[in-house]
Amino acid sequence: MYAKIFKPFFDRITALIALIIASPIFVLVSFLLAIFQSGKVFFTQKRPGLNEEIFLLIKFKTMRDDQDENGELLPDEQRLTWIGKIVRKTSMDEIPQLLNIIKGDMSFIGPRPLLVEYLPLYSEEQRKRHFVTPGITGWAQINGRNTISWQKKFEYDVWYVQNQSFLLDIKIIFMTVLKVFKAEGISAEGVATMEKFKGD
């Protein structure tokens, strides 16, 4: 009842209100990114959602598209701009995902939607993370985010799928706020974000 009816309704209403309240920040960040990133404000990418259905995720763009001599993107830490670091550290890059929530692609709470290319790499247990709508934050995010291993992150995701409840979601929201203020778990050691998942 909670996950299928109340949570989606609550998500959409809250996301709409949050987007209205955050609109001045939305405009300001968009303006700064447009100036310091050659007009490139938004990052969009296809991601698997509920039951692995593909949707288009939207975030504020925090990296340039610099490439090496072979046409490959440079490492994240070399492409991350100074304004991008601020936006990422304060988690303001997540604000556009309120639009994904309003559309029903995402929830506030749930496993983070990862890359489509990871789908063939999941074990059957790890694939259970797609049994619920993906979220902006989740159990894995408040328990280490990018500083924990992929295996541990997936364990937390599946645990959430099997134990989700209203009270658990409230706890995750409060813990997320604390993590944002402390700027914890943003980067894995030695990289700007986290190394790619390559399977078990």
**What pLDDT, on the 0 to 100 scale, is given for residue 67?**
80
CA–CA–CA angle 165, 166, 169 (5° rounding): 85
Structure confidence at residue 13 as a pLDDT band (50, 70, 90): very high
Q: What is the rounded CA–CA span in Å between residue 86 and residue 77?
A: 14
**What pLDDT, on the 0 to 100 scale, is given for residue 76?**
77
**What pLDDT, on the 0 to 100 scale, is given for residue 131?**
97
168 has a pLDDT exceeding 80: yes
**What pLDDT, on the 0 to 100 scale, is given for residue 188?**
52
Whole-number Cα distances in Å, 197 to 36, 38, 153, 191: 30, 30, 11, 14
62 has a pLDDT exceeding 60: yes
What is the rounded average pLDDT for all residues in the chain?
89
The DSSP call for residue 148 is S
The answer to whether residue 40 is domain-embedded is yes
The percent of residues above 70 in pLDDT, for the chain, comes to 94
Question: Tens digit of pLDDT for each residue in 148-161?
Answer: 889 999 999 999 99
Question: Tens digit of pLDDT for each residue in 19-60?
Answer: 999 999 999 999 999 988 878 899 999 999 999 999 999 999
The answer to whether residue 43 is domain-embedded is yes
63 has a pLDDT exceeding 90: no
Structure confidence at residue 181 as a pLDDT band (50, 70, 90): confident
Domain residues for the domain of 77 are 2-182
Q: For the chain, how many structural domains are there in total?
A: 1
The answer to whether residue 119 is domain-embedded is yes
The answer to whether residue 11 is domain-embedded is yes
Which has the higher per-residue pLDDT, 91 or 121?
121
The answer to whether residue 194 is domain-embedded is no
The answer to whether residue 196 is domain-embedded is no
The answer to whether residue 94 is domain-embedded is yes
The answer to whether residue 193 is domain-embedded is no
182 has a pLDDT exceeding 90: no
186 has a pLDDT exceeding 80: no
Q: What is the rounded CA–CA span in Å between residue 157 and residue 178?
A: 20
The percent of residues above 90 in pLDDT, for the chain, comes to 64
